[in-house]
């Protein structure tokens, strides 16, 4: 278990879409580095989709299928970004000194 008995929410889902967690004291270990790298890719993908969304929404010729596909991609990216934000926010809270 981690030093503060906290689990890290990983940036991927398990069976049936359930969250996956990592229990380790080694933030530089293989699984921690893998999770960090996947989070970086997910955040980069979300940034690229934001640019694509702006272009698609500005395109007067975009049809319903284009908008539907964009909405699906943005929904997936938003889910990933929320998971990253939740995980990182939790890690920050765990690392903060306890004030009594």
Q: What tens digit of pLDDT does each residue of 44-87 get?
A: 999 999 999 999 999 999 999 999 999 999 999 999 999 999 88
What is the structure's pLDDT at 95? 59
DSSP three-state, residue 95: helix
pTM metric for this prediction: 0.74
What is the structure's pLDDT at 21? 92
User: Cα(31)–Cα(24) distance, rounded to whole angstroms?
Assistant: 9
pLDDT in tens, 5-45: 578 899 999 889 899 999 987 888 999 999 999 999 999 99
What is the structure's pLDDT at 96? 58
Is the separation of the CB atoms in 87 and 6 below 8 Å? no
What is the structure's pLDDT at 87? 85
């Amino acid at each position: 278990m981690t030093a503060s008995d906290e689990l890290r929410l990983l940036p991927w889902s398990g069976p049936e879409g359930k969250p996956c967690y990592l229990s380790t004291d080694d933030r530089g270990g293989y699984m921690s580095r893998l999770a960090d790298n996947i989070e970086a890719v997910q955040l980069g993908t979300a940034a690229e989709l934001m640019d694509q969304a702006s272009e698609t929404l500005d395109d007067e010729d975009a049809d319903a299928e284009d908008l539907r596909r964009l909405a699906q991609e943005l929904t997936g990216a938003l889910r990933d970004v929320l998971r990253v934000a939740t995980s990182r926010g939790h890690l920050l809270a765990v690392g903060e000194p306890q004030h009594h």
